Structure 1
Amino acid sequence: MGLFRKASVTHLYPDDAIRHELEQQGDTKTAFGDKSPGVRRIEAISKCFTSWHLYVLFISIFFVSCEWGCLLLDGFVRFQFQTYAVASFGLTAQISTVNVVRGIVAAAAQPAFAKISDYFGRISILFIAAMFYVVGTILCAASKDLAQFSGGALLYQFGYTGIQLLVEVIIADTTSLRSRLFFSYIPALPGVINTWVSGNVVNAVLANSSWRWGIGMWAIIFPVLAIPLLYCLVHAEIRAGRAGYLDDIPSPFRSLSHASLWTDVFWQIDLVGLLLLAASFALILLPFTLAGGVASLWPTARIITPLVVGFVVALPIFVIWELKFARHPVVPFRLLKDRQILAGLTIACLLNTAWYCQGDYLYQILIVSFDRDIISATRTQNIYTFVSVITGVSLGLVVRKVRRIKWFVVAGTSLFVLAFGLLIRFRGGKTSDYAGLVAGEVILGLAGGLFPYPTQVLVQSAVQHERTAVITSLYLACYSIGSALGNTIAAGILTNTLPGKIQDEFVLHGINNATLAAEAYADPYGFSATWPMGTPQRDALAAATRETQRLMCIAGICISSLLVFVSLCLKNPHLSDEQSFENAEGREESIMEMT
């Protein structure tokens, strides 16, 4: 029997109250009928596969994983090149500022891409996302200052976010609940290799060129490696068209000149809500990274004003808009009444908030305090990905048999807390040890394989197929919000602690040179290259960096402790052979059953 079976199409609502609530939330109607044309299109494409064609599909998914592996490798090395790029502008402490901007863009872009792809289809929006990726990469490589680099990073992140989301949504579109965890890890599998080669790539590029080429080369590599993915999807759509499955599905592209289409799209993506959400997070989070380590900057207007506007104006307006005026809110409050969804989104946010407390400046401490070379530091930073992918793939096979997930998630969150305890002990302070740091990252990776992707599957299981893309986008958006929060916390600790620690350590090491201390803070990589380990200057910087990192890990363990409690609030459904549960959201809809 094939992977997919044609399912009946029904629209049963338990009672008029639920139907009225759904209509009030804007979940039942679009300009093209009861179901978005993009969702109908992917369902029609899925129906054209026989058993033999499904094997071809999963071979294509393998090529998708190769292309996605390109993105993983890009993500690995781009983070390091970004570090050198910001350092070259003399603004190393502003690494988190760039990351916060990227996190804000990612959080706002996830729901937008999900809803637009529901309308215009996965393929066309994937192509548009790829264009943003390439243009943003080129702008980053050609940037002359932090402002230009941040602008390019914004466009790059917008494209990267769209690609990441659409790959996950396509996997969710075409897999059963019991198999989804395993297939969700296919795009991440190349990370097993990239962990070990990314350091060589960074080292080779910096030895023979500069960070500009290290970033810019992806504008060439990515489009070439994206061909298998695009070919697979286009070929599947052609087959569906020839089979007649697309005949009764309206094409929004043929209605681009109609004002009614754009009005409907405006409300569907909740453009006002997205802008208010992005503005709220930008106004609230960026001042913490921009204040720097100088206490006198905090009372200034450029720090106080955005904080006040963010908390008092932008955030309340966003909540009022979502509750009272948005027809299709970015935050679907009806769905958030389900504790499975609410707990899952909270886990996504807390996970990345805690992780970035220790991950944002991990590369810096490896170079500055542990005296690792570029290859070793890059590999160490990527240990988390390597271990989490191996663990996650193995867990995916186990879940196919046991069909339960919750207690794996609980175990993962508990290990997460243990890992932070090891990092506090061995990564910072006077008793730091490289072997202990690696052990902490390995356990962090084990935890990372046990609960982030499994939680995503649990969240997806709580909705019908029509809202799979939206709920996935919200889950990934919470990831991005967590990233921005973690970046902000890390930057706040670093900018308000490290300058003073450096000066204190310089005094303890018999160095009375404020200018040199400022140089060490502004460009620790250049400073470390000038002053080798064993010199008082380098030892002072290393000690100050370790103590600052210890504080970051303490913040991380406090946040990660909340994960254990939230994971206990998850439900533990028996995962079925269907794309979604028939009774998800309290009603039955069109579903795709899997064997």
Structure 2
Amino acid sequence: MDKNENELRQRRDHEQTVFQAQDANDADNSSIMAVDKDSPGVRRIEAIVSTWTIKDRVYFLGALVVMTYARTLAATTMGTYQSHALNDLGEAGRAGMVRTVRQVLTATTLPITAKLSDYVGRTFILCATAVFWIIGPVIVATSNSLGAYMPGFLIYTLGHVCGNILNYALAVDTTTLRNRLFMQFVYIFPSIINVWSSGVIAAKFVNGVGWRWGAGMWSIAAPICTIGVIAVFAWGSFRARRLGLMRGIPSAWGLFTSGKRWVHLFWVMDIPGLFFLAAGLALILLPLSLGGGVAAKWRSAECIVPLVIGVLCLPMFALWEHKWARHPIFPFKHMKDRHVMIILILSFVKSIAGSTRDSYLYFTLIVSFNQGVEGATRINTLEGFAGSVTLIFVAFIVRKYKIVKPLIIAGTVLQIVAQGMLVHFRGGYGKSQLAGLIAGEIIEGIGNGLSSHPSLVAMQAKLGHEHALLLTSCWAVGSQAGGGIAAAISGAIWTQLMPGKLRAGLEAAGVPNAARVAQQVFRSPLTFVKENPPYSVGREAIVPAYRDVQYILCIIGVVLMAVLLPLTFLIDNVSLDDRTTLAKDTESDTSDEPRHLGPNGVDDRRELNTFEDEKRDVPATKT
């Protein structure tokens, strides 16, 4: 009898060991499947926000305002410092190339940042923003060549990308459709202050201690301004854990402790797709912006070969995304919706139109309009100022009437008018020319405030929470890719036409060594302007060149904006109510069933699937 009992006990122990191993493997696999259905970062922020009181929301908005103001002021002044850095390095003609690299980096990192925000969490992205802000400006401030400048500039750009994604994510996380534009206003209202303060700050640094100190300052100031938002998230996370709302949600650290999770993260980030997209954009756009000039390098093999490879990479990207990508960068299921697709096209083409005109506007303002650092910086920010003020009224209109389509159409019409005005007013020392330019910038800003963010909210209205941030990143990718294409177009036009026009003007004015002087002006126009005041022979010889090239850039903007107007009539006239979305939150790309949240705030079905093994640890209820 004892012998039979021992054999039964040994067999039961062996079976229990096998079952435990299978359960552990199934639990790991099912947790990965749960990540597929609803990302841990999304579930974590939902749990945190559910614990917030009115006081917590006030603290959050206050901290967010401080962080956003610092980020937008840094972006505005860093743009001015960049122009002076390129001038001092003798690389002013490569401003289009620098802008192209920035836009390509931004466009290709936005999707991966959005996915990381959903997968790992908002706090991870916030901390990454602070780290990039610390490192980038320091490298920029200590650079002595374009090759040394670019790494720091790109690291700072990554911090800007993370900040943008965080803004989009928090707007979706914390607001309803009717109130979402108020949150967007929180992000862009600093433009109202910056239009007056940024020029003064930039001028004080440029004319005083220098642009290097102005850039390096942000490595200290900007990260400090993120501490408030980090503290709000940390407190909310602590309270959510104490209430049990985090049960079943993997921690950010836990997501990186398993080999399977790393493999899963590789496919979630769609690294092969990102490679094809980044290679395609970079290899097409960079040769366009680098070519031109006196030597017409774009006709050489060093420009033609990258162009050919880049053209091949984009079809490979489309093929990969359509056939093999497990988690495509662009969710094609939602992009088949006409409403969503038109809004993405509007973002893409409007960015090309506006950025083509603005790529060299700072240099045109100083050379052709005789503006100083403060004036040129201020005029460059007028569009954002007008857009921010307009958005206040738009937010109240949307809250009352719940519709955005008429606003989008009106905004597009105003942008076409503004582009036409900027074609006419593109240089001159008189007040009328400057007033016309300023009026055009303000009207452009009003049109942008009426159309840009309202169209984004209209798109988000038709998406579930799980997909809203990813499609929002696609919207931003379209804008940044459009900016990259615009920078390449403007860079190609500028480098191809400007040297010849400068030389022709200088020769016509009888300036000695016209060819050499033309190259000096092309590389460092701000230095030449300091030595040649208005109405001097040299200054008057170069102004027509800047007017003529700026005219071509503005014409491109007018044509592109006019093409967009018919598309705005095809957008759905969605009604924005008090829900966070007009679509059902989906559990996966193939399911339209609503989520079933248990008393702890976590999906009951996910609990059953992912943590089935935990049930065995719960003692049975006595009857």
Larger CA Rg, structure 1 vs 2 = 2
Alignment of 1:43 onto 2:18: no
Check whether the contact 1:424–1:553 (CA below 8 A) recurs between aligned residues.
Answer: yes
Deviations 1:137-187 (A, max 9, x none): 211111121122111111111121011111221121110011101211102
Task: Report the secondary structure of 2:154's partner residue.
Answer: helix
Task: Indicate conservation of the 8 Å contact 2:178/2:578, yes or no.
Answer: yes
CA 1:544–1:234: 2 relative to 1, 3 Å: same
Q: Deviations over 1:502-543 (max 9, x none)?
A: 122123323352111211111110000011111111011112
The structural deviation recorded for 1:429 is 8.9
Q: Rate the CA distance shift 1:344–1:584 in 2: closer, same or farther, 3 A.
A: farther
- 1:370, 1:434 within 8 Å by CA — same for their partners in 2? yes
Cα distance in 2 for partners of 1:247, 1:584 equals: 21
The residue aligned with 1:498 is: 498
C-alpha contact (below 8 Å) 1:30/1:36 kept by paired residues: no
| Mean CA deviation greater in 396-405 or 162-171 | 162-171
Residue in 2 aligned with 1:396? 395
State the distance in 1 between where 2:346 and 2:585 align.
Answer: 21
Residue in 2 aligned with 1:280? 280
1:461 touches 1:584 (CA, 8 Å); kept in 2?
Answer: no
Q: 1:29 to 1:558 in 2, by over 3 A?
A: farther
| Aligned partners of 2:200 and 2:374 also within 8 Å | yes
CA-CA distance at 1:436 after TM superposition: 0.7
Post-superposition shift, 1:430?
11
Match of residue 378 from structure 2: 379
Matched to 2:522, the amino acid is Y
Unaligned runs of 5+ in 1: 1-27
1:159 aligns with 2:159: yes
Superposed displacement of residue 63, structure 1: 2.3
* Separation (CA, whole Å) in 1 of partners of 2:429 and 2:369: 12
Q: Partner residue of 2:594?
A: 589
Aligned to 1:529: 530
Equivalent-residue separation in structure 2 for 1:590 and 1:387 (angstroms): 41
The structural deviation recorded for 1:373 is 1.5
**1:62-117 CA distance string (max 9 Å, x none):** 32122111111111111010011111111101111111111111111111011111
5 Å-filtered alignment, 1:247-258, equals: 247-258=247-258
| Structure 1 residue 293 displacement after superposition | 1.6
Given residue 440 of structure 1, which amino acid in structure 2 is its aligned partner? G
Q: State the TM-score, normalizing by the size of structure 1.
A: 0.91
| Aligned residue type for 1:47 | S
Residue 82 and residue 176 in structure 1: after superposition, are their counterparts in 2 closer, same or farther (change >3 A)? same
- The one-letter amino acid of 2:492's match is G
SS in 1 for 2:333: helix
CA contact (8 A) 1:65 1:188 kept: no
Structure 2: tracts of 5 or more residues without a match: 1-30, 598-623
Q: How does 1:480-499 map to 2 (within 5 A)?
A: 480-499=480-499
Matching of residues 87-486 of structure 1 within 5 Å = 87-294=87-294, 296-311=296-311, 313-428=312-427, 433-486=433-486
Aligned residues of 1:388 and 1:448 also touching (Cα < 8 A): yes
Distance 1:405 1:151 in 2: 41
User: CA offset at residue 54 of structure 1?
Assistant: 2.9
Identify the range of structure 1 (428-437 vs 71-80) with the bigger mean alpha-carbon deviation. 428-437
Whether the 8 Å contact between 1:426 and 1:434 is mirrored in structure 2 is yes
Kept in 2, the 8 Å contact 1:357–1:556? The answer is: yes
The amino acid that maps onto 1:571 is: D
Q: Contact between 1:430 and 1:543, CA under 8 Å: does it hold in 2?
A: no
Is this contact kept in 1: 2:120–2:255, CA < 8 A?
A: no
134-143 vs 530-539, which moves further: 134-143
* Counterpart amino acid of residue 539 in structure 1: E
Q: Percent identity over the alignment?
A: 33
* Shift of residue 55, structure 1, vs aligned partner: 4.4
Q: Distance in 2 between matches of 1:591 and 1:437?
A: 56
CA distance in 1, matches of 2:284, 2:36: 39
Contact 2:59/2:232 (8 A) holds in 1: no
Compared CA separation, residues 481 and 519, structure 1 to 2 (3 A): same
Spell out, residue by residue over 1:411-433, the C-alpha distance to the aligned partner (whole angstroms, 9 max, x if none).
10111110010000111599981
- Corresponding residue for 1:579? 580
Which residue pairs with 2:603 in the alignment? none
Task: Tell me if the contact between 1:582 and 1:589 (Cα under 8 Å) persists in the aligned partners.
Answer: no
Cα deviation 1:24-78 (Å, max 9, x = unaligned) = xxxx9745463111111111112223xxx13431442232122111111111111
**Distance in structure 1 (CA, Å) of the matches to 2:32 and 2:251:** 16
What amino acid sits opposite 2:411 in the alignment? G
Q: Supply the distance in 1 between the matched residues of 2:39 and 2:414 (Cα, whole angstroms).
A: 41
Any conservation in 2 of the 1:101–1:150 contact (CA below 8 Å)?
A: no
In the TM superposition, 1:559-570 aligns within 5 A as: 559-570=560-571
Q: For the Cα contact (< 8 Å) 1:392–1:449, is it kept in 2?
A: yes
Please give the alpha-carbon distance, in whole angstroms, between the structure 2 residues aligned to 1:459 and 1:295: 46
- The two structures have a TM-score, normalised by structure 2, of 0.87
Q: How does 1:536-547 map to 2 (within 5 A)?
A: 536-547=537-548
